[in-house]
Homo-oligomer: A and B are copies of this chain.
Amino acid sequence: MILGYSKNELLGAKQKLEKYIHRTPVLQSRLINEVAGAQLFFKCENFQKVGAFKMRGAMHKLLCLSEKEKSFGVVTHSSGNFGQALALSAQLLNISATVIMPSNAPQVKKDAVAGYGAHIIECSPSIEAREESLRLFLLSHQATFCHPYNDENVILGNSTAAQELFEDYKLDDIIAPVGGGGLMSGTALAAKYFSPQTNIYGAEPIAANDAYKSLRDAKIYPSISPNTIADGLLTALGNKTYPVLKELLTEILLVNDEDILKSMKLIWERMKIIVEPSAAISLAVVLKNPKKFENRKVGLILSGGNVDLKKYFD
């Protein structure tokens, strides 16, 4: 057992999810390898359902509910990918879902959640308002609250992306982005069980470096006024993700928005795939630390591809 997670639980998550999610492709780019001076393996969760790894955690969470819990439905708060992932997962399993969204969330995201048949409750765009909406909802409903990342079954679901990667490749290092730590926790657990010699790096924006500080000082810092283009990485660690990262991570590496944008451009231009800034950050970390990754085989979890394409098309 590692921090309460067994190898069988990880394998079980992978098996349960198989028929509900895509096994996403792993891409390589000769040119980017040359630029990086390393051999990079990109795990393309931008091709996952709803365009992000969040589908893995959300679906696994629902698959672990009892029949009784399923009958009462589920609720989450999310302005982004997790809301969509939970809504689609619930639809596929015929479970009622409610998503608490800030009133200023983009209409396109509200439409997507509604399109998957979930109920939307709007709240003011603050953490307090969100918590209050959730509290009130749970007073009158027996629904199960599904936290977007601070949840063991979500973490187990997220671990399956790295599990798939380790099945196919022997890697010296693996890198995943760190926001609330849900993807990073799953990735780290998969590495420890299935590729124990692999170094495990977190990639975090300098302007939202709460996880970096949390591991350094051994206490959970809140994420205060983060301001970065990597809008999927604004959240703080939780009490389920912090211990996993603290125990298992080799190191968190920081990059700035310019680094992230440069890497995103490289991926778009050379690999012809669309990834979001929060995904490109792992490549940014490699390019920023050429010595560390020189000639190594490095896995990078491209977490998603949901970007606002308005600049191009409107």
Interface residues of A (CB under 8 A from B): 25, 46-47, 51, 261, 264-265, 268-269, 272-275, 305, 309, 311-313
| Assembly stoichiometry (copies) | 2
Q: Are A261 and B313 in contact (CB under 8 A)?
A: yes
Q: Considering the complex of A and B, which 8 residue pairs feature the smallest CB-CB distances, nearest first?
A: A272-B305, A46-B272, A272-B274, A265-B313, A273-B273, A311-B312, A268-B309, A311-B311
**From DSSP, what is the main secondary structure of chain A's interface residues?**
helix
CA distance A60 to B175 in the complex (A): 39
CA distance A259 to B313 in the complex (A): 12
Collect the chain B residues with CB atoms within 8 Å of residue A264's CB. 313
CA distance A221 to B258 in the complex (A): 49
Collect the chain B residues with CB atoms within 8 Å of residue A305's CB. 272
Collect the chain B residues with CB atoms within 8 Å of residue A47's CB. 272
- Of A46, A51, A274, most buried by chain B (CB within 10 Å of CB) is A274
Can you pick out 19 interface pairs between chain A and chain B where the beta carbons lie within 8 Å of each other?
A25-B25, A46-B272, A47-B272, A51-B272, A261-B313, A264-B313, A265-B309, A265-B313, A268-B274, A268-B309, A268-B312, A269-B309, A272-B273, A272-B274, A272-B275, A272-B305, A274-B274, A311-B311, A312-B312
CA distance A268 to B240 in the complex (A): 35
